[in-house]
Amino acid sequence: MRAMKLRGVFAPYFAVAIRFIFLLVIYALLRLGFYGVNSSLFPHVDAGKLLVMFAGGVRFDIVALLYFNILYIVMLTVPGPFKSNKIYQKVAKWIFVVTNSIGIALNLIDFAYYPFTLKRTTGTVIDQFSNESNLLKLAFDFCLDYWYLIIVLVLVVYGLIKSYKLIQIERTTKYSWKSFLIQLPLFLLTAFLFIGGVRGGWAHSTRPITLSNAGDYVETPEEMNIVLNTPFSILKTLKAVNLKPVHYYSEQELEQLYNPIHVPQSDQPFAKKNVVVLILESFAKEHFGELNKDIQDGKYKGYTPFLDSLIRNAYTFTDTYANGRKSIDALPSVITGIPSIGEPFVLSIYSGNETTSLAKLLGKKGYETAFFHGAPNGSMGFS
C-alpha cells in the first residue's frame, strides 16, 4: 500500500487527526474482543444494547487516547519549522508507538484479568502489587498462561507501526511568518478540542467524565465494563481513595446495637403508597422552625414554612446527621444510603459496584420513578 504524503502547513494536523481516528478503531476492536472473550459474563447484552455501549464507549476512548497522546499531539501541532526535521519526526513516531502500545497492552490484560475481578483494572492495582516480591515471576506466569494475548499485542503493535508509515509528512524547505500565523490558531484550536475531549464535552454543566458516567449507556453495573476501557479506568483512579476494612464490632454486637434489616409481617399486604423525597441543599436542622421550638422562647419561625407544615403532620426524625458535603454526594447518600467517605461515591472506584436504592426496590413493586433537578442534565453527575 502506497504511503499518503501530506505537505504544507496543515500536514501535521491532518496526520494527527488520521492517526487518532485509527486509534479509535483499534480501541473499538479491543472492546469487541473484550466482550467476545467475556461474553458469558454478560448474558443479557444483545446486539442493540452492545451498539449503544460501543457508541458510548467512544467518549471514554477519546479521553484515554488524548491523555496517552498528549506529548505526541503537542509535538506535531505546536507551531515551528522544526517539525519536519527527520530526527524530530522519528522521536515523535516512537513516542506515539510506545505510549499507545502501553494503552493497548492494558486493554488486553483485562481480557484475562476481568473474570477474576469482574471489573476493569483501576489505579489501585499499584497498591495491590506494591508489596509483592515476585512481580517478575507473576508477570512471566501471566505471559505463559495467556500467550495468545502476547501474540495479539505483537500483531496490533506491528499494525500500528505499519499504519504510521502510511502517513508521511513531507519536509518543507521554507517556513515563513505566514506559516506560523496559520499554525498558531490551529494549535489553539487543537488545545480547545483537547480540553473538551478530556472533559467529555464543553457544556457548562459537564464535569470531567469518570467511571460512573458509563452507567448512562447500560442497564446493570457490570455492563459498564464494556463501555469503559482499561487505560481510562487506571488514569481516573490513580489518586482514588482505597478503603480499608475496619472492624469496630463483631457481627453479634452490631445486631444488638442496630439491625438495619427489616422483615415485614408476611400476612400484611404491601401498602402501595406514593413516595416523594424532597432534597434541599445547603440547609441544616437550625433552619427549621418546627425542629427548634426551644429557640427564642418558642417564637423562632425558621426559614422553611412549607416543610414545617409537613413536619407537623408527619413522622419526623429529630436527630439529624450530615452524610455528604457537596451536591454530588446527595443522591448516593439520600437514595442509596452510601455516605461520602474520602471522596464522592460517584467519583470513586466503587461507583461500578452493584448497589440498591429506594427507586430500585420500589421498581420491583411496579413503581416508576421521576427525578426533577433544577439544572441541566448531567450537572453534578445527575442524569
DSSP string, 122-176: -TTHHHHHTT-S-HHHHHHHHHHHTHHHHHHHHHHHHHHHHHHHTEEEPPPS---
Is position 246 within any domain?
no
Q: How confident is the model at residue 149 (pLDDT cuts 50, 70, 90)?
A: very high
Domain encompassing residue 82: 4-235
pLDDT in tens, 3-45: 788 877 788 889 999 999 999 999 999 999 999 999 999 999 9
* 90 lies in some domain: yes
Q: Which residue has the higher pLDDT, 246 or 70?
A: 70
| pLDDT score of 266 | 75
Q: Determine the pLDDT at residue 380.
A: 66
Cβ atoms of residues 116 and 110 within 8 Å = no
Name the strand (E) or helix (H) holding 6. strand 4-6
Q: Does residue 128 belong to any structural domain of this protein?
A: yes
What pLDDT does residue 16 have? Answer: 93
Give this prediction's pTM: 0.77
Identify the helix (H) or strand (E) that includes residue 4: strand 4-6
Q: What is the mean pLDDT of residues 331-358?
A: 82
Domain count, the chain: 1
Angle at 281 between CA 278 and CA 284, to 5 degrees: 95
Residue 340 and residue 348: Cα distance in Å, rounded?
Answer: 10
What residue type is assigned to position 383 of the chain?
S
Q: Is the pLDDT of residue 99 over 90?
A: yes
18 secondary structure, DSSP code: H
What integer pLDDT is reported at residue 63 of this predicted model? 96
- Whether residue 240 is contained in a domain is answered as no
Res 104 pLDDT > 80: yes
Q: Is residue 351 part of a domain?
A: no
Highest average pLDDT, of 18-32, 235-249, 337-351, 356-370, comes from: 18-32
Answer yes or no: is 135 within a domain: yes
Residues 37-93 pLDDT 10s: 999 999 999 999 999 999 999 999 999 999 999 999 999 999 877 777 788 889 999
How many helices and strands, by DSSP H and E, does the chain display? 14, 2
Q: In which residue are the cell numbers 501535521 written?
A: 12
Taking the C-alpha atoms of residue 163 and residue 21, their distance in angstroms, rounded to an integer, is 12
Q: Flag whether 361 is in a domain.
A: no
Dist CA 182 CA 367 (whole Å): 59
Is residue 221 one of the residues assigned to a domain? Answer: yes
